[in-house]
Amino acid sequence: MLRIAVIGGGPAGLFAAIRAAKRGARVSIIEKMKSPGRKLLISGSGQCNLSHAGEIEYFLSRYGEAGRFLRPALFHFSPRDLLRFFEDRGVSFETEEGGKIFPKSRRARDILQVLLREIEGLNVQLLTASPVSSVGHGPDGFTLTTSMQQTGSWDRVIIAAGGASYPATGSDGSGFSLAAQLGHSIVEPRPALTDVAICSFRMKELAGISIKGCCVLHFRGDKLLARLSGDLLITHTGFSGPVIMDASRNIRCGDTLVPDFGGLGSGTADALRCFAEKNGKKQIKSVSRLLACPEALLEQLLSTAGIEGGIRLGELSREKRRHLAETIAGSRYTVASTGDFRDARVTAGGVDRREINPKNMESRILPGLFFAGEVMDIDGDTGGFNLQAAFSTGALAGDNSDLKDQ
């Protein structure tokens, strides 16, 4: 019977182990932390945005250049297959407006429990508190060394040790060193899906407020780099939410972000004028009816524009009105920094995709070595794309790791 070691007990490793064990291999998961799946447990703020309702072609457009590489994995084990796997084991799902899919219970631990029950049922050995520090390969197969001991020899190894983000969950980048020990190149790991901090940020007290479908212009110097659109979240230090996180891989310190808080863009000044003409006796605060932003944010914008909340619309001078429109839709926020690995939701970079066969996740450098999940140079947008990639590549690696012709 083939002996397969899976390094890392995150979603990719757990799922690779399940699929390999189903095909009759003797599988051990070697996990660094005292318990597996720690990042999965905090995914989607503990609610686990497992996947997305889009078609596979849409998925492929959400991983940047890695989309092509992921095509075979996503067709081999599709988003539909993933949901069916959990539905067959009692989990129901709901889809949010916008396509994000969550378990109905909104508990990531329900997802983890299914995976743990499954590996138990398949007699997969789970070694915890066992960080793998080195991996070698010789005539008798692979050898792994943990901080405690050598773990014997293995016919196949699947490296599923995750990226370098949120190192407190266990994925601290050591998977990259293990891959490098076996001859693989590593594309420089970078934090991705991060918040951005804004210079002299004056909205701290609004932290937690989110603006749905906010348009944000992204400038470098005077050059407009991108028109972004999506939900924006105000934090203690700047901006977050899908619109910022998805763009964060392209945002640099010193760039300028111009959010359109009111949702009226370049029409804001005209809309304010028309509204003021019709509602001259009403207090300025009543423009909240016109704008997409929450009232607390409007109050802050009024104060930034130097306008008292009690003033009537008819009393607002043309200059003040223009200034207010500019503050709502044209304020420029300079990026002080993007997040680091401590708060990046995923890692961009990792094991070079060119050295992995996308049809089976096997190393092109060392037969018998496989990869699954974020340890590879793949990172997706927010919305369930990263977990889906972890499960799909885990399935593909697990299903191919027992093939005898290696």
8 binds ligand FAD (CB under 6 A): yes
387 binds ligand FAD (CB under 6 A): yes
Q: Is 148 exposed, middle or buried (0-12, 13-18, 19+ CB in 10 A)?
A: exposed
Q: What is the DSSP string of 277-337?
A: HH-TTSBGGGGGGT-SS-HHHHHHHHHHTT--TT-BGGG--HHHHHHHHHHHHH--EEEEE
Shortest spacing between CB 30 and ligand FAD, in angstroms: 5
Question: Binder to ligand FAD among 22, 26, 41, 42 (CB under 6 A)?
Answer: 42
Question: Binder to ligand FAD among 54, 368, 373, 398 (CB under 6 A)?
Answer: 373
Q: Please, what's the b/e burial string for 38-49 (b: 16 or more CB within 10 A of its CB; e: otherwise)?
A: bbbbbbbeeebb
Residues 263-322 that bind ligand FAD (CB under 6 A): none
C-alpha–C-alpha distance, residues 357 and 372, integer Å? 12
Segment contacting ligand FAD (CB under 6 A): 157-165, 228-236, 238-246, 317-325? 157-165
Q: Are the C-beta atoms of residues 6 and 384 closer than 8 Å to each other?
A: no
Segment contacting ligand FAD (CB under 6 A): 6-14, 76-84, 207-215, 250-258? 6-14
How do strand 210-220 and strand 256-260 relate by DSSP bridges? Answer: antiparallel
Question: Binder to ligand FAD among 78, 240, 338, 386 (CB under 6 A)?
Answer: 386
Q: In the numeric block, which tokens belong to residue 302?
A: 């009024």
Question: Binder to ligand FAD among 175, 262, 350, 358 (CB under 6 A)?
Answer: 175
By C-beta, is 135 or 276 nearer to ligand FAD? 135
Residues 334-353 that bind ligand FAD (CB under 6 A): 345-346
10 binds ligand FAD (CB under 6 A): yes
State the SS3 of 27-57: EEEECCCCCCCHHHHHHHHHCCCCEECCCHH
By C-beta, is 165 or 363 nearer to ligand FAD? 165
Residues 47-86 that bind ligand FAD (CB under 6 A): 48-49
12 binds ligand FAD (CB under 6 A): yes
Q: In the numeric block, which tokens belong to residue 400?
A: 């191919």
Length of the chain: 406
How do strand 93-95 and strand 100-103 relate by DSSP bridges? Answer: antiparallel
161 binds ligand FAD (CB under 6 A): yes
Residue type, 330: G
Question: Which positions lie near ligand FAD, rule CB under 6 A?
Answer: 7-13, 30-33, 36, 38-40, 42-44, 48-49, 131-132, 160-162, 165-166, 170-171, 174-175, 345-346, 373-374, 384-387, 390
